[in-house]
Structure 1
Amino acid sequence: MTKNELISAIADSTGKTKADVGTILASLGRAIEGGLKAGDEIVLPGVGKLKPDARAARTARNPSTGAMIDVPAKTVVKFKVAKELADAVA
């Protein structure tokens, strides 16, 4: 499903305009980004949880050259799907 298809589906089911739904989705994205940057876990009811997770620095091997490279530490986003959604899709 593309972004436009998602916006259309939400607009059709709620009676809102596509412009309003697009604005709401953009605001949702910004709110999620801000929460994750602050280190908060974001719960999307019926969908799942997003949470930031710190990855430690490590040494890895380049598979094409065999050279060892240093991979810096970074924060990644982990997603855990909600049980209701997993059961509905299965």
Structure 2
Amino acid sequence: MNKSELIEKLAADTELPKSQVSAVVSAFEDTIVAEVKSGNKVSLPGFLTFEKGHRAARTGKNPQTGEPLQIAAADVPKVKVGKSFKDAVNS
């Protein structure tokens, strides 16, 4: 399911216009990104938790030549799946 299919499904389930559902989905995405970018954790208990992680600088290797190369440190998004979501998928 892609974003447009999700919007169509939510619009059908809630009987709201697709334009309103699309605006809510976009606002949801923008809010999650902005909060995680600023270092805040966003938790939807039992479903998902979004947070900012840090990956330290390290030495890797070029897979074609085998030469060592430096990989820079980076901030990365982390997503954890909640227990009730896991349970629903496994049942």
TM-score (norm 1): 0.93
Residue 16 of structure 1 aligns to a residue whose secondary structure is coil
> Would the alpha carbon gap of residues 77 and 60 (structure 1) be closer, same or farther in structure 2, given more than 3 Å must change?
same
Task: State the distance in 1 between where 2:28 and 2:46 align.
Answer: 16
Residue 66 of structure 1 aligns to a residue whose secondary structure is coil
- Structure 1 stretches of 4+ with a deviation exceeding 2 A read 44-47
Task: State the distance in 1 between where 2:15 and 2:45 align.
Answer: 21
Matches within 5 A, 1:54-73: 54-73=54-73
Task: State the distance in 2 between where 1:24 and 1:80 align.
Answer: 22
Q: Report the count of equivalent residues.
A: 90
The residue that corresponds to 2:20 in the other structure is: 20
Task: State the distance in 2 between where 1:9 and 1:45 align.
Answer: 23
Task: State the distance in 2 between where 1:33 and 1:88 align.
Answer: 26
TM-score (norm 2): 0.92
Unaligned 5+ residue runs, structure 1?
A: none
Matches within 5 A, 1:1-90: 1-90=1-90
Residue 39 of structure 1 aligns to a residue whose secondary structure is coil
Moved more, 43-52 or 70-79: 43-52
Unaligned 5+ residue runs, structure 2?
A: none
Identity of aligned residues (%): 37
1:54-87, Cα deviation, whole Å (9 max, x unpaired): 1111111112110101000100011110111111
> Which one-letter code corresponds to 2:78 in the other structure?
K
